[in-house]
Amino acid sequence: MMRIAILLAGAMTVTGCLSEEKAFGKSAGYGRSYHSPVHVHIPQNAPSITQQFRKVEDNEHYGLDVHAPIGTPVIAAAGGEVIKSFWGPAYGNQIEILHPADSSGKTSRTRYVHLEKRIAEVGDQVARGTQIGTLGITGFLSSGFPHLHFETLYRGTSIIHSAEDPNLFWVNGEGKVTCFDQRRHADLSSENFVLTYPVPCK
Ligand SMILES: [Zn+2]
**Is 30:61 a contact under the CB 8 Å cutoff?**
no
Query: What pLDDT shows up at residue 58?
Result: 73
Average pLDDT over residues 135-149: 95
Ligand 1 is an ion; residues with CB less than 5 A from it:
65, 149
How close is the Cα of 123 to the center of ligand 1, in Å?
A: 26
Question: What are the residue boundaries of the structural domains of the chain, listed by start?
Answer: 2-9+23-185
How close is the Cα of 103 to the center of ligand 1, in Å?
A: 30
pTM, two decimal places: 0.87
What is the band of 14 on the pLDDT scale with cuts at 50, 70, 90?
A: very low
How close is the Cα of 162 to the center of ligand 1, in Å?
A: 16
**Is 23:42 a contact under the CB 8 Å cutoff?**
no
How close is the Cα of 118 to the center of ligand 1, in Å?
A: 18
How close is the Cα of 149 to the center of ligand 1, in Å?
A: 4
What is the band of 13 on the pLDDT scale with cuts at 50, 70, 90?
A: very low
pLDDT at residue 141 greater than cutoff 60: yes
Beta carbons within 8 Å of 54's beta carbon, 6+ residues apart: 30, 31, 33, 34, 60, 61
pLDDT at residue 18 greater than cutoff 90: no
Q: How far apart are CA 71 and CA 67, in angstroms?
A: 12
Q: Which amino acid is at 139?
A: G
| Residues 31-62 pLDDT 10s | 766 667 889 999 999 999 999 998 876 778 99
How close is the Cα of 65 to the center of ligand 1, in Å?
A: 5
2-9+23-185: CATH topology is Glucose Permease (Domain IIA) (2.70.70)
Query: What pLDDT shows up at residue 11?
Result: 44
pLDDT at residue 164 greater than cutoff 50: yes
| Residues 69-125 pLDDT 10s | 999 999 999 999 999 999 999 999 999 999 988 877 888 999 999 999 999 999 999
